Amino acid sequence: MKALAKYSFMFIALTASAVAAESGAHHEPSIKDLMYPAINFAVLAGFLIWKLKKPLSEMFNKQASEVESLMNSAAQKNKDAEERLKTLQAKMSNLNAEIAKIQKDYESDVATFTSTTAEETKATIARTHRDLINKLEGEKNELVEKLNEELLNSVIAKTKQTINGNADMKNRATSKIVSELR
Q: What is the pTM of this model?
A: 0.36
pLDDT at 127 over 70: yes
Classify the C-alpha dihedral 38-44-47-51 as positive or negative. Answer: negative
Question: Is residue 131 within 8 Å of 139, Cβ to Cβ?
Answer: no
Q: Which H or E element spans position 33?
A: none
pLDDT of residue 112: 93
Mean pLDDT of the chain: 85
54-90 residue pLDDT tens: 998 999 999 999 999 999 999 999 999 999 999 988 8
141-178 residue pLDDT tens: 999 999 889 988 998 888 888 877 877 877 887 888 88
pLDDT of residue 166: 79
Question: Is residue 1 within 8 Å of 55, Cβ to Cβ?
Answer: yes
> What is the C-alpha to C-alpha distance for residues 138 and 146, in angstroms, rounded to an integer?
12
Q: What is the CA radius of gyration of the chain?
A: 63
> How far is the CA of 75 from the CAs of 17, 61, 63, 70, 80, in angstroms?
55, 21, 18, 8, 9
- Residue 118, classified by CB atoms within 10 Å of its CB into exposed (0-12), middle (13-18) or buried (19+), is exposed
